[in-house]
Amino acid sequence: MNNFSMVEGAANMKSLVIRVFKWIVKRIVLIADRDFLVKISNMLSKSNLWIEARLRRLDADEQKEYPSKNGMLRKFILSHDAPWLDTKIHDSQIPGMISEEEKKYYTWFGQFYAGEGDIVELGPWLGCSTFYIMEGLQQNPHFKGKKLHVYDDFVWRSAWMDKSYLGNDGPQDHEDFKYLFDKFTESVKDFIVVNRRRLSTGELEEDWGEVVNPYDKITDIPPLRWRDNPVEILFVDVGRTIDSMRLGGVCFSHISFQTKH
């Protein structure tokens, strides 16, 4: 068999796998009950995270690595030899939407905190990322006496949150879910400062006049502000809409981010 025939055969096999997979999914959708469909949806959501991570890693194989000024940190975009891949982590059992590699990265990154500014996390959801950020920070002596400042509006959006949380104590659409965050972060509660703030306004005026999106029913939650100390590390996982990105940018654009070189 020549090389052309082998390549053509591999392509045909991939096409067959895709067709069979689509057929199986369609059959499941037609005959399965609701509980089974929820489990399948949750599994496919997690699988999608793995697939996206693998795709980004393949794309990153050709990316350059840029040394930092202090020589300690370099830019690794899902590289196959990223230094955090061998990091040992605990299984937190906290529902989340982050990959195993992201958990390792959060834990690994904690060693670089120099204690020169505050640490802020925007958008922790149920606290999975918070747990692994703390895993790394608690091993760093510079974190002694410090706190991780956590911000979220803690408003449940059933359209995309229900499928990632299968517990029987979940809230209804647009209800406050901070009680779930508190439950899952019980082990690190003494090291975090939790703030319920509006991270997305629907529209953010340049003069701070705000038009709140009535769909989210969060008019009673104060908007995010930061008027405290300089920030050394800022973890952001809320940039899924233009207004939330703008809100974060405006809130933190006036502060100095501390770096140690």
Locate the domains of the chain by residue range.
82-261
CATH label, 82-261, candidates 1.10.10, 3.40.50, 1.10.287, 3.30.450: 3.40.50
pLDDT in tens, 66-104: 444 444 566 666 667 788 988 999 999 999 989 899 999
Query: Residues 70, 71, 73, CA angle at the centre, nearest 5°?
Result: 95
pLDDT of residue 40: 81
pLDDT of residue 178: 97
Question: Average pLDDT of 47-55?
Answer: 72
Query: Residues 106, 108, 114, CA angle at the centre, nearest 5°?
Result: 95
pLDDT of residue 65: 47
pLDDT of residue 201: 54
> Is 164 in contact with 42 (CB distance < 8 Å)?
yes
Per cent of the chain over pLDDT 70 is 69
> Is 136 in contact with 121 (CB distance < 8 Å)?
no
Where do we find the tokens 């501390």?
Answer: 258
> Is 75 in contact with 65 (CB distance < 8 Å)?
yes
Least confident of 63-77, 113-127, 154-168, 190-204: 63-77
Paired tokens of 15: 């096409």
pLDDT in tens, 227-260: 778 899 999 887 655 555 555 555 665 554 444 4
φ, ψ at 238 (rounded to 5°) = -130, 5
Distance CA 42, CA 64 (A): 35
Question: Which band of pLDDT confidence, cut at 50, 70 and 90, is reported for residue 59?
Answer: low
Paired tokens of 14: 């991939």
pLDDT of residue 216: 60
Distance CA 125, CA 97 (A): 9
> Is 261 in contact with 70 (CB distance < 8 Å)?
yes
Question: Which band of pLDDT confidence, cut at 50, 70 and 90, is reported for residue 179?
Answer: very high
Q: Cα torsion at 83, 86, 89, 91 (round to 10°)?
A: 120
DSSP assignment of 151-192 equals EE--B--HHHHGGG---TTPPPTT-B-HHHHHHHTGGGGGGE
pLDDT of residue 118: 94
Determine if the pTM surpasses 0.75: no
Identify the CA nearest to 177 among candidates 192, 190, 194: 194
Task: Tell me the CA end-to-end span of the chain in Å, nearest whole number.
Answer: 58
- Higher-scoring residue by pLDDT: 87, 198: 87
Counts of helices then strands in the chain (DSSP H, E): 7, 6
Mean pLDDT of the chain: 79
Per cent of the chain over pLDDT 90 is 38
- Higher-scoring residue by pLDDT: 153, 199: 153
Paired tokens of 254: 């006036």
